[in-house]
Structure 1
Amino acid sequence: MLRRTESVVEKLLTNWMSICLYTFLRESAGESFYMLFRAIKHQVDKGPVDAVTGKAKYTLNDNRLLREDVEYRTLGSWKRLNTLQHYKVPDGATVALVPRNVKHHLHDSHDYMLERVKTPMLDDGEEGGVRLWHLVKASEDSELPKHRRGSLRERGGERAKAIPEIYLTRLLSMKGTLQKFVDDLFTAILSTSRPVPLAVKYFFDLLDEQALQHNINDPETIHIWKTNSLPLRFWINILKNPQFIFDVQTSDHVDAVLSVIAQTFMDSCTIADHKLGRDSPINKLLYARDIPRYKQMVERYYADIRQTISASDQEMNSALAELSRNYAAEVNCLVALNELYKYINKYYDQIITALEDDSTAQKMQLGYRLQQIAAAVENKVTDL
């Protein structure tokens, strides 16, 4: 349940959680996440980064590791501004604007076609075009005839397998540098020392009620429901896309590090034990010793939330009303309601029937209220 986004309910849940957790992000978890993002960017930018492949000397992702020793020097934070004196322009000099000497070849469509024919196609490297590289050239394997590529792979197999072991210490060093920031973020997300967001408590209680109503006694199933609804649906999306909540520019090499941390958080929320061996991805081996501790944090988080006092419908409605008052000017409610009504109108009869059969919906008269809305919007015939 809640693994895919095929229905409007799952999409609504994602947006609902995002709105309800905005204050929690701003006041609690946002600072830890921003500090982690800045730490990653600072560490990655300390060393060389390939402008073409995005591979970096300092990273957590072995697929984006710069596996060559490139000489480099730190530029520092000072950059001198050039003035006219640097360009040997004396005081009182006369400056003239000279038009650029540009040859115009495209006089008519015939000449244009000739120019296109004469222009070499340099984009396709396999056809002998130009291939860009920055610090390290890509594998030359694709330039060889097909009958020679297999033998080259066989000869380079041992070397390719040994490279990660040589640079494993660099990955471990990067992990050690970021460890405190990762721990702080996970603690901020999974801590119950301060009040848990009301929306999380309310929705988790709803899942517990649904499990009880359908005679589902397996704790692993309920754990999976909660994991799919909050950590995997909301937090993983935020961890992989910091630009969603911060005014920052992301890059491939920073995204590569964030993806490893997001995968670690995802593994920590699952119940199944991941058996790791020599052939396991290095990204998973890096946090193999930390994941059991993170799993305990997740389990304790779910247990603590379940033991707290339940959130009533009135409390949830009051919290949502306060959100509406605080951010009413920042969203266009009419547009959102119109798009939602388009979906409701498409399945109007089925929704009315479902609301009339549900006991909770009957108490709240949701079917009656939906019929009123339909009548107001498009004068739909009702049995009022």
Structure 2
Amino acid sequence: MITPDLESGTKLWHLVKNHDHVDQREGDRGSKMVSEIYLTRLLATKGTLQKFVDDLFETIFSTAHRGSVLPLAIKYMFDFLDEQADKHQISDSDVRHTWKSNCLPLRFWVNVIKNPQFVFDIHKNSITDACLSVVAQTFMDSCSTSEHKLGKDSPSNKLLYAKDIPNYKNWVERYYSDISRMPAISDQDMSAYLAEQSRLHLDQFNSMSALHEIYSYIVKYKDEILSVLQKDDQSRRQRLRSKLEQVIDTMALSS
């Protein structure tokens, strides 16, 4: 729409004209109508996708769903976090919950949800990316222990799933609780599991590259790691500090 302008003669407006102070009320009403139209479309789309989102969350937050068995590594890792909490006398359940959320759902699953092209041979356009960001935000809110206070000025992506998040939070808590009640995984079973995984994926990864990444981390925090290994009883029995120092010396010479 082209409207006359006193200075330049013409002025180009794109889609929506900025209303002057005189028509401010009318402009507010028009903006409100536009937002209400889009909100209706968002709710309709959300209703179409609801079953798929529910299935995704239920599959992720289930110890045995549709025939899949919980990997031993998850149980072993969560038990380790609980042991560390007990060791440091951390009784706050929210802290344990947050540790587990940060090490698996928020570090791994959110990345997969937002970037399906990492797993599948697909193209993710901008519209798909925006939609998946809403699902990922809902996923993150479901893992949070804090209350989400929403109002009329809250973004629409949070308002869409506001009523569903309490139910999703229950799923997350149930998931962590079910894992804690599972039989503990021994170090021997965990070692056997890792050895089997290494055998199955022998040709898919560069083990030397992975070791070098670990070594780079160790060099960066060498003093702290050596100090911890010296204080830990089990590490002293296995002489891990001296073994690590030998590795560092050897790598320094070869480099």
- The reply to whether TM is greater than 0.5 is yes
| Pairing partner for 1:316 from 177, 182, 190 | 190
| Pairing partner for 1:173 from 41, 44, 51 | 44
State the SS of the aligned residue for 1:376.
Answer: helix
Going from structure 1 to structure 2, the CA distance change for 1:206 and 1:278 (only over 3 Å counts) comes to: same
Match of 2:235 in 1: 361
State the SS of the aligned residue for 2:201.
Answer: helix
Aligned-pair CA distance for 1:165: 1.5
Q: Which runs of 5+ in 2 are unaligned?
A: 1-11
Match of 1:206 in 2: 80
Identity in percent? 50
Which shows bigger deviation, 181-190 or 360-369? 360-369
Separation in structure 1 between the aligned mates of residue 187 and residue 21 of structure 2, nearest angstrom: 65
Structure 1 position 299 matched with structure 2 position 170: no
Separation in structure 2 between the aligned mates of residue 150 and residue 311 of structure 1, nearest angstrom: 69
Deviations 1:252-292 (A, max 9, x none): 00011101111111111112221222222222222122111
Match of 1:184 in 2: 55
Separation in structure 2 between the aligned mates of residue 277 and residue 345 of structure 1, nearest angstrom: 49
Flag the structure with higher helix content: 2
Separation in structure 2 between the aligned mates of residue 150 and residue 278 of structure 1, nearest angstrom: 24
| Pairing partner for 1:338 from 201, 204, 212 | 212
Q: Which runs of 5+ in 1 are unaligned?
A: 1-130, 142-147
Going from structure 1 to structure 2, the CA distance change for 1:167 and 1:376 (only over 3 Å counts) comes to: closer
Ranges of 4+ aligned residues in structure 1 off by more than 4 Å: 136-141, 148-155
Structure 1 position 325 matched with structure 2 position 199: yes
Going from structure 1 to structure 2, the CA distance change for 1:340 and 1:152 (only over 3 Å counts) comes to: farther
Cα RMSD for the two superposed structures: 2.6
Flag the structure with higher strand content: 2
Task: Please list, as runs of the form range in 1=range in 2, the aligned pairs for 1:204-353 lying within 5 A after superposition.
Answer: 204-353=78-227
Aligned length: 240
> Of the two structures, which has the highest relative contact order with CA contacts closer than 8 Å and spacing of 6 or more?
1
Match of 2:4 in 1: none
TM-score by length of 2: 0.84
Aligned-pair CA distance for 1:153: 7.4
Separation in structure 2 between the aligned mates of residue 295 and residue 260 of structure 1, nearest angstrom: 16
Going from structure 1 to structure 2, the CA distance change for 1:303 and 1:347 (only over 3 Å counts) comes to: closer
TM-score by length of 1: 0.57
Deviations 1:168-221 (A, max 9, x none): 222111111111111111111011235322111111111111111111111111
Larger-Rg structure? 1
Deviations 1:36-94 (A, max 9, x none): xxxxxxxxxxxxxxxxxxxxxxxxxxxxxxxxxxxxxxxxxxxxxxxxxxxxxxxxxxx
Separation in structure 1 between the aligned mates of residue 125 and residue 51 of structure 2, nearest angstrom: 22
